[in-house]
Every structure is written in C-alpha cells, then in structure tokens.
Amino acid sequence: MWIKWKRVIDSSSHFLYYGLTTLSNLQTLGEEYTGIIQINQSRTDLPTLSRRCIAVFFHTFGSLLTRWILKRVAIALNGEIGTRLRPDAKRKLLSCLSFVSTTLEYVEKLNVSLFYLHGVFYHLSKRLTWIKFAKIRAWNENPTRPEFRILSYITLANLTLSASYTLW
C-alpha cells in the first residue's frame, strides 16, 4: 500500500529538508561540506526568498507534478474530452504527451551533463531560477576538472545513445 506513495513521501521529505535549510537561508549539508553558498544571478547577493521557494518546489515536486499532469491529461483525452476530438487530433495529442514524457528524462540527463562540463546548475530547478553557487573557501581552483569533463562526455554519449535508441 505505502509503495504507491513512495514518490510523494520522498518528495515531501526532500521538501521538508530544503525548507529547513534553503528556505531559511542556511546551507545544506553538501553545500556546507564543499564550502559553497547559493547566490543570485548578479553574483552579488543571496537569492530572494521567492526565487528559493520556486527552486525548492521545482526541485522536490517538479518531476512528480509534471508526470501527474501528463497522466491526467492522457486520461482526459482517453475519456470524455477525447470523444469530442477528431480521432487524428486525439492520436496526435496522445503522441505529443508521450514525446513530452520521454523528453523530460533526457532534459534532466542533459542538464547533468552540462553541469559536469561547465560546473554550473546541477539541478534543473537552479537553472530555471538562475541560482548559482559561490565558493566561500578554496578547495578546487578548476571548476571543470578533467575527471568531470570525461564524465560529461560519457554522460552525453549515454544520452545520445539512449535518445537514438528511443527514436528508432
């Protein structure tokens, strides 16, 4: 019974954690360990509360909410609303929903690959809200170390092969 609520429980616990840290303008354990803080787009101040709220919400519930909406739209298209549409329009909309659902996974993987390559925006929610990180203590002078560059290339190759396989 509880297994069907696992994603919601996981997302809720993450939201609670980030609510107690990020929304309170405190560092997460990982940020504290690596000596970084979140900064705004201009790199002169901390992100506003509204920007942090949006980032935390999308980070914790974005994927879950998007998949739920796509599922509900597909159910509606296969139900009452779908009977009002022409069959070819319904088929195209369902195909589009499937494409969007598949594409979301690739967008998340592409974002991680870009992070490994450039060292900015590990989470897609940070990219959408332009929340960056700044080092508060030196531990690595080169933000894109050779290991991360290689990891980026491997991740991009995996993404390309997965996308190619899905399209064929």
| pLDDT of 96 | 93
Query: Each residue of 17-31: pLDDT tens digit?
Result: 999 999 999 999 888
**Residue/partner pairs of 120-126 with CB below 8 Å, 24 or more apart:** 123/55, 123/59, 124/58, 124/59, 124/62, 125/54, 125/55, 125/56, 125/57, 125/58, 125/59, 125/62, 126/55, 126/59
The pair of three-digit structure tokens given for residue 43, joined into one six-digit string = 């790199």
| pLDDT of 23 | 92
| pLDDT of 117 | 83
List Cα–Cα distances, 12 to 52, 59, 112, 129, 157, in angstroms: 16, 11, 23, 21, 33
C-alpha 103/C-alpha 123 separation (Å) is: 16
Mean pLDDT of 97-116: 88
**Residue 115: burial class (beta carbons within 10 Å; 0-12, 13-18, 19+):** buried
pLDDT at 138 over 70: no
Query: Each residue of 33-84: pLDDT tens digit?
Result: 878 889 988 888 999 999 999 999 999 999 899 999 999 999 999 988 888 8
pLDDT at 100 over 80: yes
| pLDDT of 60 | 94
